[in-house]
Amino acid sequence: MKIKEQTIKELEAMKPSDIYLVYELIRSIKASKEQKTIVGSPGAYQKSRLLLKNCKGSLSSDIIRNREDRV
């Protein structure tokens, strides 16, 4: 627990505004870990596939056609 004690000691020496930044960082880390532990939740690629599954035609062809229009 030495690291925890050192962290608390450092926090006690900080300004309240800096402590708030540390607190937000801790919350951010916890939230990202919670998202990773959710089993069965689709990733960005899987979400995209799910949203595009009802689209007709070829998405890559549409992208190529739009790029050609800009050139």
> Is the pLDDT assigned to residue 37 strictly greater than 60?
no
Instruction: Note the pTM of the prediction, 2 decimals.
Output: 0.45
pLDDT in tens, 2-22: 999 999 999 999 999 999 999
> How does DSSP classify residue 14?
S
Tokens of 5: 């004690």
pLDDT in tens, 38-71: 555 667 888 888 888 888 888 788 888 888 877 6
Q: What is the pLDDT of residue 36?
A: 62
3-class secondary-structure state, position 71: coil
Greater confidence, 34 or 32?
32
For 29-56, give one letter per residue: b (16+ CB within 10 A) or e: eeeeeeeeeeeeeeeeeeeeeeeeeeee
